[in-house]
A = this chain, B = another copy of it.
């Protein structure tokens, strides 16, 4: 029996440990131990407490837990762009893995704005999340470092574990870029163009492309077009500037920094009458779901994004360390129509109608 609340609750009061304890006929401490250290209470009592909690619909109060225990069940996930399906996939992977460990993901979308990025990191801190996963735009924001210095660890996703020495988990972007360019060179393409970046991991893809060109032993050229953000809209703009060129300066193979950019490019080129893949081969990056449904299905390099998200969670929770995951996330080339070797006139596939 609790003293009458000064301000009556909106509808019915939320059950607390006290209520559960009263119903189970034990002390509040016992109820708490039942949830946090089940082994500390006898099986008999444990059952009684759990039953009481269940009957009352006890949900706990993470605020109180955090205030006292200092950490919450939530992990923060900061992505730079919710519009990019890759981040959605990373988020999905992270969420599933977190759920498997009774944790939750706080998803924040900075939309490439440094200011919102700061605001969200500050929010994460005020929430005392037990860790932050960041798939950030460019550099590591200073706030992340501040957060870590105050005790909240973080993991970068999609950024190579380079000289920066921050904990990071990433597919091998350099290798993926190499795959893409080697594929084009093997088809006989010689005037390559890379569109994308600057962006830490996109630049790694570019590095891979460069290496493929250098290793090919062929007299191949490589041109680099930088863009601001890598969206479909920007891709279309790039295609327009390309179309203004004289024919001899036109590339015959393009590697795009990501699929959105590639789709925009593809659309712009096709509309202008460029034949893909006859006139030009195109390889995207990320292998988003829509790559398959493009005007011409898009060849792309795939990373196991969901696995990356899950890996980041495992890293934060200390289930695995960076060593354990070395080389587990290998990129894979998914060949579709935008880069099929030219096989004479393209036949319209015959209808499978019976």
Contacts and interface: CB of A to CB of B under 8 A. Distances in A.
B11 A150 contact: yes
B354 A244 contact: yes
B292 A293 contact: no
Nearest to A64: B67
- Which bracket fits the contact residues of A? 35 or more
A109 B85 contact: no
Nearest to A250: B353
Contact of A351 (B12, B106, B146, B272): B272
Contact of A109 (B57, B91, B126): B91
B351 A354 contact: yes
Interface string A320-354: 00000000000000000000000000001111111
Given A91-B109, A150-B11, A350-B273, A264 B243 contact: no
Interface in A16-67: 57, 59-67
B85 A91 contact: no
A186 interface: no
B127 A99 contact: no
Interface string A290-308: 1011111100000000000
A62 to B, nearest CB: 4
B92 A109 contact: yes
A140 interface: no
A293 B263 contact: yes
Contacts of A9: 150-151
A92 B85 contact: no
Interface stretch (A116-124, A171-179, A213-221): A116-124
Contact of A82 (B63, B88, B125): B88
Given A264-B293, A273-B351, A349-B271, A99 B128 contact: no
A224 interface: no
A319 to B, nearest CB: 20
A14 B151 CA distance: 9
A286 interface: no
A149 interface: yes
Given A151-B14, A293-B290, A293-B294, A127 B92 contact: no
A234 to B, nearest CB: 13
Given A83-B289, A92-B83, A243 B353 contact: yes
A222 interface: no
Interface of A: 9-14, 57, 59-67, 72-74, 82-83, 85, 88, 91-92, 95-96, 99, 104-109, 111, 116, 119-120, 122-123, 125-128, 146, 148-151, 232, 243-244, 263-264, 266-267, 271-274, 289-290, 292-297, 348-354
16 contacts: A9-B151, A12-B149, A60-B126, A62-B123, A62-B126, A63-B64, A63-B67, A64-B67, A83-B289, A106-B106, A232-B292, A272-B351, A273-B350, A294-B295, A295-B295, A351-B354
